[in-house]
Structure 1
Amino acid sequence: MKVKKEFTVFEHIDINTPLLLSPQASTKEKTLCCWFCTSGPISLSAKIDRKGYTPGESIQIFAEIENCSSRMVVPKAAIYQTQTFYAKGKMKEVKQLVANLRGESLSSGKTETWNGKMLKIPPVSPSILDCTIIRVEYSVMMYVDIPGAINLSLNLPLVIGTIPLHPFGSRTSSVSSQCSMTWLGMALPERPEAPPSYTDIVTEEQRRSSLEVPMSRDEFDGPLFAYVQEFRFQPPPVYSEIDPNPDQVRGVEEGRPSSCPSR
């Protein structure tokens, strides 16, 4: 007797890692030949912001397609899933289309640019990368459909995870974000803007008026509360202050509490 039963192999993948948050990019070029005639080249450049995504997210595709040939071409993008099975020293591979996207037709001498064209990931199983009997891999294929010739294509590796991108993931992927903005020709500021001056927040009139507020509760009377009121609106030390003697507390010399070390 033979019995068949399905089982599920599942692997948790957190995409909040530097490897999966790094951008993926590639460039290819192809020249068409027909007998003794050679047409101009067809060039393709494509990039995605990161390698790791979760089902339901949309992949922003940045691409540039230049058609210098004599044929009409069509740029397209697709997500492919590749399942590989290992058993008894043999291997079986199954590849299927998951999602696709089509651009505008390009005639000879035309160029098309994709500035973040969205390709949504449908509900698919996550990638399986560390199993000895089965592997599930994904890729974003960007290609140019050329009539009568082999398509010009390039693959960008893709990992479908189970733990989505956290809000702080943008800080972790600061390098990838910077590369993305540089790729688009945008410049990042070299130095962040300085904080506002202390006098812009608390004026001298506010500080003096706070010292003249009458106290209504007797339990607040005393030298300690008067000391706190006196230093209520005192500005903090500037960041440029450097204590030449680390063993000596600057606050004692300047009349501040000794428990507040200088900055």
Structure 2
Amino acid sequence: MHKMGKLKSFQIILSENKTVFHPGGKIMGKVIVELKGDMKMRSLRIFMRGVAKVHWTESRSTGSRLGSYTEHYNAEVEYFFKRQVLFGGEVSEGRDTLTEGRHEFKFHFDLPMGGIATSFEGKHGSIRYWLKAEMDKPWSFNTKTKKAFTVISPIDINKPEYQVCVESSVEKTLCCWLFTSGPISITARTDRRGYCPGESIAISAEFDNLSKRTVIPYATLYQTQTFFASGKSRIRKTKFTVLTGLPVGPGTRGSWDSQLLKIPPVSPSIINCCVMKVDYFVKVALHIPGAYNLTIHLPIIIGTVPYRGGPHSYADSRFFHEAQALLAAAAYLDVPNPPPYRETITPPPPFEDPPTYVESVGGAVNLWDDDDDDNTSPENNMGDLTYTPMYTYVYNYRPPPRYSDVVQSDVDHIVFPSIDFLNGGDGS
């Protein structure tokens, strides 16, 4: 335990212990100072900062006996830097005395309404937001305390573009010396494109195996982190949940009907940061003994506003079934496609309860970085130097119906309209 002299406690407390905020939110709290005696200081200040930072190294050969050298790649974007003086003044010659005892200094900051990305801690970079209080004391090193908080840039997966399924297929033929085996193919789809952590991806697939080998289907959730600096990029892939199916024997077909792939508490997709991005995809594959695996990638979005199922879901709306009927009838009668879909018809219902947040599956990180002065060691920082991002998590997720049930339900509800209605009439 290091000695701090008269300073007994120095910490930042956020109002209502809130640690997750959205763009445009208010950051309120107080700085607590406890002294065992009177203390002179120039000022007590608090700063709020948001920074996206990237760094990685690559080894380069000199092509000579000198060997190799290390090249550094760095990029940084400062989203905001705000400050308030809580005690004393801005003039460095000023001397004020803070008396013995406990003192509370309230502060209030506003986050920008837009242009800031979700908090993220990655392999070669981070998007980080924090508060730092600093005591400027005469004839001594400054004392600091830090507290990080999570910012979540909203992605509402209830928007129509995130409710469509993602589908793909692939086929290959195995060759063995002079003989060619029958084709092996995968056709797979997700129940939608957008999800939140805690929800499950319902995967439906057909695996056709006309070869003479037994193959094994599996699906994996992947995260791709891409970092940008100095005109170059660095990519890191992380594998999360894995789902393995039953073997598919030679000359047979296997199928999945809404097999569930659970999403852990991962970062939302990050698509609005210029120095890094975070993407997700589901890999559906067949393990083929003695040959390269057959794979397809189904890109998805990880959002922050959970899916509103039940009677208010988009797929159950009157408009959805009317649109399905129009599309089916147009295909059946070979008429031109209807006009493009208008994004909003009725606003979705509000949440009854606020979202639940869970610590990131990536775990805690250390907050000590280059932002802190070189002449200030960690012993002069009294704050908690560890931080774990918090992300939206759905506990009460209800799995979707099986894909075959949904398809049959849609067929049962389709009513083919008349030619007049398709051509702009009232259908009477």
**Equivalent of 1:174, from 306, 320, 323?**
320
Q: Offset of 1:184 from its aligned partner?
A: 4.2
Identity %: 43
The answer as to 2:412 corresponding to 1:188 is: yes
More strand by share: 2
Supply the RMSD in Å over aligned alpha carbons. Answer: 2.7
Match of 2:413, as an amino acid? P
Query: Structure 1 97/58 Cα, relative in aligned 2: closer, same or farther at 3 Å?
Result: same
Q: Is the 1:83–1:94 Cα contact (8 Å) retained in structure 2?
A: yes
Which runs of 5 or more residues in structure 1 are unaligned? Answer: 192-263
Match of 2:266, as an amino acid? V
Q: Offset of 1:5 from its aligned partner?
A: 9.1
Q: What CA deviation, in whole Å up to 9, does each residue of 1:74-99 have, x standing for no partner?
A: 00011100000001111000011011
**Superposition pairs of residues 3-18 of structure 1, within 5 angstroms:** 7-8=127-128, 10-18=152-160
Per the alignment, in what secondary structure is the counterpart of residue 412 of structure 2? Answer: coil
Per the alignment, in what secondary structure is the counterpart of residue 114 of structure 1? Answer: strand
Per the alignment, in what secondary structure is the counterpart of residue 413 of structure 2? Answer: coil
Q: Offset of 1:183 from its aligned partner?
A: 8.0
Q: Is the 1:25–1:46 Cα contact (8 Å) retained in structure 2?
A: yes
**Equivalent of 2:172, from 30, 39, 42?**
30
Q: Distance in 1 between matches of 2:278 and 2:242?
A: 19
Given the two structures, how large is their TM-score scaled by the length of structure 1? 0.65
**Equivalent of 1:85, from 213, 227, 251?**
227
Q: Distance in 1 between matches of 2:406 and 2:185?
A: 17
Q: Is the 2:152–2:304 Cα contact (8 Å) retained in structure 1?
A: no
**Equivalent of 2:307, from 165, 181, 188?**
165
Given the two structures, how large is their TM-score scaled by the length of structure 2? 0.41
Q: Is the 1:51–1:157 Cα contact (8 Å) retained in structure 2?
A: yes
Number of equivalences: 188
Query: Structure 1 142/40 Cα, relative in aligned 2: closer, same or farther at 3 Å?
Result: same
Q: Is the 1:45–1:63 Cα contact (8 Å) retained in structure 2?
A: yes
Between stretches 159-168 and 69-78, larger displacement belongs to: 159-168
Per the alignment, in what secondary structure is the counterpart of residue 159 of structure 1? Answer: strand
**Superposition pairs of residues 79-228 of structure 1, within 5 angstroms:** 79-167=221-309, 168-170=312-314, 171=316, 174=320, 184=407, 187-191=411-415
Q: Distance in 2 between matches of 1:83 and 1:139?
A: 12
Match of 1:94, as an amino acid? R
Query: Structure 1 20/6 Cα, relative in aligned 2: closer, same or farther at 3 Å?
Result: closer
Q: Is the 1:10–1:128 Cα contact (8 Å) retained in structure 2?
A: no
Q: Offset of 1:182 from its aligned partner?
A: 9.1
Match of 1:130, as an amino acid? N
